[in-house]
Amino acid sequence: MANALAGIAEEMGARLIRGSYSANIKERRDCSTALFDAQGSCIAQAAHIPVHLGALSEAVRAVMAAGPQSGEVFLLNDPYQGGSHLPDLTVVTAIPALEETTVVSAYAVNRAHHADVGGMRPGSMPADSTEIWQEGLVIPPVRLARLQTSGALDWNEDLLRLILANVRNAEQRRGDLQAQVGANTIGVRRFRELLAQFGEAETWRLIAGVIDYSCQRMRAQIRALPDGVYEAADCLEGYGDPPESIWIRVQIEVRGESLRVDFTGTDAASTGNLNAPLAVTRSAVLFALRCLLDPSAPSNAGVEAPIEIFAPRGCLVNAEFPAAVVAGNVETSQRIADVVLRALAPVAGSLSIAQGQGTMNNCVLGNRHFTYYETLGGGQGASPHRPGPDGIHVGMSNTLNTPIEALELEYPLQVIRYELRQDSGGHGRQRGGWGLIRSLRVLEDCTLSLLTDRRHHTPQGEAGGESGQVGINLLNGDRLPSKTSRPLQAGDVITLHTPGGGAWGSIESVESVSDGDASGIPYSDSGDG
């Protein structure tokens, strides 16, 4: 049953990727899919974007508060009503029960990052926003369509026209929304087939067993940890040159079979857009804990049942309306995961790793005619057993890159350079992963927005390992701040050097490791691990 449910979620994702128009979804796969029961509890997730998945439960609850009818399709992106940040549009479809078709049996859900949803700058990810309305069109839970018993869709054309009138590249937005609704439609069909195969009562009995199984696995892992309180802190780079340091502090209390994650002491919400709604904070915490404790357990509500999360209202990781949040979803979520991982490192044993790049290296280029958005990989931190991987998405991002061929075909951009940033990882017994170098020449006048981090604070090594190198942002060879928005002229070249990962263990310790110890492979310039 666990595999059947996960298979439905994965098929929804495949339909969404293949049906979308924008490179954001069809190439980078910046989207996620899941199934929820009628009470709003997650019953299955596809292996997609961590920052999306943990926040979807709040989106479903926000839709439930609007009183959905069987077959109705809801749309939302409001970060204060179940969303994450405005470019992430969430579609929730109420699945009819098999026998009583007017009863909502479950929900098919997906979230996808749209290349633009309006706002003060193309791409809807300005570096200089100070309130939510500057970041795009805010959509509370609204009825977008209705799925008829015949399978046909009745669209709310008035709502669709309103949305498309307030975004750039409207026809691309329309195509992506249609793909999202279509992905949920296949989820509805497959879930109802599952109900027919086993019968409704038996299906829900088995689903309850899967959720309980995940819960018991997580409780067993927590029970194996020593009781106590474990703390960590780390900072984000704010605004200015040099940038201010914005601190996230966490205390994790382990007591028996449960965990309490407390962010008391975290800095107040920023005047900029690094603020994270609580749904994003929950996503980051759950991702980190799953990585440390039980990454192979079926993804459902049972995983989070033993975990309590608290953050003071109005702090950076529990922002309140109308704070700007666009960077909170992509950058603050990374640091939340970092501090949770670091807090539990003393009791996680061999699972502790050095810090990875800790940023998504968000690069947005656009004008009235196009919007390009990319998150770039970098170096992951090393572990006691192996070097850090090179040039990968670390932490809360799990997207692909946009292939050069697709990028140059779709956008007025030219890729000049794309390669691994050699030796950017820290040196140590196990070296840190290498970052990337990517250079783009813009062929039209446009706007640039960068939301990046670890340009001043290095990714830290572990157990005496050296830190990775910081990232560097360049415009025509001149340094840019870690967070900036500015106009570009045709011919300008933007170059990003992404951070390397921290190393594990001191270089001196390599000499004391015997040749037969596979965990003691020394740092090598070859980069082959």
The three-state secondary structure class of 118 is: coil
CA distance 185 to 179: 10
Question: Distance (Å, rounded) from C-alpha 401 to C-alpha 46?
Answer: 19
Closest CA to 30 of 380, 396, 303: 396
Region for residue 509 given its phi and psi (left: phi exceeds 0; alpha: psi -120 to 50; beta: otherwise): alpha
Residue pair 388/380 in contact by the 8 Å Cβ criterion: yes
pLDDT of residue 349: 62
Q: Residue 25, CB half-sphere, CA atoms under 13 Å: how many? A: 32
Name the pairing type of β-strands 31-37 and 42-45: antiparallel
pLDDT tens-place string over residues 129-154: 999 999 999 999 999 999 988 778 99
Model-level pTM? Answer: 0.92
**Rounded-to-integer distance, Cα 247 and Cα 386, Å:** 30
Q: Are 295 and 277 in contact (CB under 8 A)?
A: no
Neighbours of 511 (CB within 10 A): 10
- At 475 the pLDDT is 98
pLDDT of res. 171: 94
Question: 205 — phi, psi (to 5°)?
Answer: -65, -45
For the chain, give me the number of helices (H) and strands (E)? 12, 20
**Containing H/E element for 107?**
strand 104-113
Identify the CA nearest to 57 among candidates 246, 29, 65, 232.
Answer: 65
Nearest to 382 by CA among 425, 349, 424: 425
Q: Tokens standing for 318? A: 């529990």
- The segments of the chain whose pLDDT lies below 70 read 349-351, 509-529
% of the chain at pLDDT higher than 90: 84
Alpha-carbon gap, residue 331 to 336, rounded angstroms: 9
Centroid of chain to Cα 457: 22
* Residue 498 token pair: 């992404």
